Amino acid sequence: MPATRADRTSPMKQFFLTMLGVFAGLFLFLVVVPFILIAVAVGSASSREPTPSSTVLELDLREGVTDQAPTNPFALLGGGGLSTMQIVDTLAQAEDDRRVKALLIRLPEAGITPAAADEIRQAVRRFRRSGKVVIAHAQGFQPVGTAVSSYMLGASASELWMQNTSSFQLAGFSADSIFLGRAFEKYGVNAQFEQRYEYKNAVNEFTESDYTPAHREAMAAWMTSIYTSALANAAQDRKVTPEALRAAIEAGPYSSAQALQRRLIDKIGQVEEAEAEAKRRAGKGAEIMEFSDYASSRGQRLGSGRNAIAIVGGEGAIMTGTGGNADPFGGGSAILSDDTAEAIYDAIEDDAVKAIVCRVSSPGGPPAPSEQILAAVRAARAAGKPVVVSMGDYAASGGYWISSEADWIVAQPSTLTGSIGVYGGKLVLADALGRFGIDMRNLTVGGEYADAFSPARPFDAADRAAFAASIDRTYDQFVERVARGRKLPPARVREIARGRVWTGAQAKALGLVDQLGGLEEAIAKARQLARIPTDESVRFKRYPEAKSPFAALSDLFGVSGESARVLIGIGALMDDPEARAAVRRLQTERARASGATVLADQPY
């Protein structure tokens, strides 16, 4: 059969394809490969660096922390801070390391997420109970956001220092919200949303110009819970009453000298002086070692023993699919339904794994991927492997959906959770664009609902009714799962749901959370549910496994990890036409084997 016009490749098209391949190859060997080699070299050097016999670990939190370390090796090439889980894991190892004598913490001025501060504080207190010194140093406390959490963490140290020129401006806990309702009305944007119910306030930024009564009530309640909890913890560590500490803080701001006079801090000094003091307390010959270097040298806790506990991590918005097509250099995190469900199923199939701890830190996501992950949780329980959820900074909406049927839920007092509700809708833009001479029109083939979500026109009555019914179904499904998992009457769940956000402390009182604590408490509960004796050692197996640089490279360039490894090792062969042809064949085979499905769903 003669070739059609579409089958032929013009010389010009072939030229551009060839040039594209050349540039891809240049990028691979001039940019990616050096990054890989540098990362490997730095990692190897860090792992070989000896820990001095008398060491002070310096933990700098000013760059911010994520909840979990990324599984992609390239995500760290652009820099970034540590993760809460890495800090907790490393401090647990440092407790038993006789070479580590002290810890110096550099506190962020503007604060740290409350649940992360809770988790790190607990790890610091365990570190201190091992008989080791902790000094925290701050270059002030700002009157913004979550500075109260930063102060609470500093209060857990043996000594809290502040720079002489700094100000203690912490006087409470504040949060700001932006509302676009008036702007949308002015410029002709029609926000059409369904929400279940009045506390599901994510849509308010599009529809309102101020807090609704329900929005204000819920937000003030969780802010008060976080603030009260932080003050109570700080007061306990500084050995004063919560009432006295609150009165002193709220009477501010203060200079560093005034803060010292009011016993809000212990000493005034530069960070170099704090380092010198930490070294003096550590003993003769003590040296400062960056926390990240020590963490790299020790690696993750593996434990020992014939029985294992699986730790399945997940951070970020819940999304459908897999990470195979994600940007390998992206620093953002997401809980991808295929990857997370597969990780749980891998743990189910591992005979050594006796229980599963799911670490969840997520603001939510659509019901479809959330249900896929929850189905894997159900499968684990059906296989006789208890599932314990450890909540991080937040586990709300879809994050709570995937947690709801676990055997046990552990959350920090300041974890934002619950938000059992659903919303969805669209922004109608035709009028707004028309004001700028841009006309939006719509053509539709199929049923009447086919163009329901077109931004060119508002919902009609039938569309709105059908969409509202789908929102109601999703809300009913959510309530059903929470009632079954938490063993609560559906009527009670409907009473405390309605899209309201709770803190972990509030959720514990309502029965939405079983226990307050962090990952360590979740592991202890998993051990108990799996009936592993407390005096028996256990191994930790983490899922999903971190990608090797070669696997990440294969995702980027469409070649197998083994092929990438060979090509990097013998890059000179890329001058060989046969080598280039082999790579092209691999790329073609991968493209033929792969497929993509785009799913749309209403968001939480």
pLDDT of 481 strictly over 60: yes
pLDDT, mean of residues 76-88:
75
pLDDT, mean of residues 92-113:
94
Q: Quickly state the pLDDT bin for 372 (edges 50, 70, 90).
A: very high
Q: Which of 168, 139, 141, 155 is nearest to 230 (CA)?
A: 155
pLDDT, mean of residues 437-444:
94
- Give the DSSP H or E segment for 21: helix 11-27
Q: Is the distance from CB of 188 to CB of 434 less than 8 angstroms?
A: yes
Amino acid 111: pLDDT: 85
Rounded to whole angstroms, how far apart are CA atoms 578 and 585?
10
pLDDT of 525 strictly over 90: yes
Mapping DSSP to helix (H, G, I), strand (E, B) and coil, where does residue 350 land?
Answer: coil
Exposed/middle/buried for 128, CB within 10 Å: 0-12, 13-18, 19+? middle
Mapping DSSP to helix (H, G, I), strand (E, B) and coil, where does residue 146 land?
Answer: strand
CA-derived radius of gyration, the chain: 27
Of residues 512 and 10, which shows the higher confidence score? 512
Q: What is the pLDDT of residues 328-337, one digit of tens each?
A: 544 558 899 9
Amino acid 70: pLDDT: 75
Q: Global pTM?
A: 0.82
- Ranking 46-55, 126-135, 398-407 by mean pLDDT, the lowest is 46-55
Amino acid 23: pLDDT: 55
Mean pLDDT of the chain: 85
Rounded to whole angstroms, how far apart are CA atoms 337 and 379?
15
Rounded to whole angstroms, how far apart are CA atoms 185 and 465?
24
Amino acid 585: pLDDT: 55
- C-alpha dihedral sign at 540, 543, 546, 551: positive
Exposed/middle/buried for 243, CB within 10 Å: 0-12, 13-18, 19+? exposed
pLDDT, mean of residues 584-602:
44
pLDDT, mean of residues 440-462:
94
Pairing outcome for strands 254-255 and 167-168: antiparallel
Q: What is the pLDDT of residues 297-328, one digit of tens each?
A: 998 888 888 999 999 999 999 999 886 545 55
∠ CA 214-220-225, nearest 5°, is 130
Q: What is the pLDDT of residues 373-396, one digit of tens each?
A: 999 999 999 999 999 999 999 999
Amino acid 79: pLDDT: 47
**Hey, what's the torsion of the CAs at 226, 231, 233, 235, to 10 degrees?**
-170
The phi, psi pair for 229, rounded to 5°, reads: -65, -45
Amino acid 582: pLDDT: 55
Q: Which one of 327-331, 458-462, 562-566 scores highest in mean pLDDT?
A: 458-462
pLDDT, mean of residues 109-131:
95
Q: Quickly state the pLDDT bin for 75 (edges 50, 70, 90).
A: low
Amino acid 300: pLDDT: 87
pLDDT, mean of residues 24-48:
50
Q: Quickly state the pLDDT bin for 515 (edges 50, 70, 90).
A: very high
pLDDT of 150 strictly over 50: yes
DSSP codes of every residue in 356-405: EEEEEEE----HHHHHHHHHHHHHHHHTT--EEEEEEEEEETHHHHTTTT
Q: Quickly state the pLDDT bin for 53 (edges 50, 70, 90).
A: confident
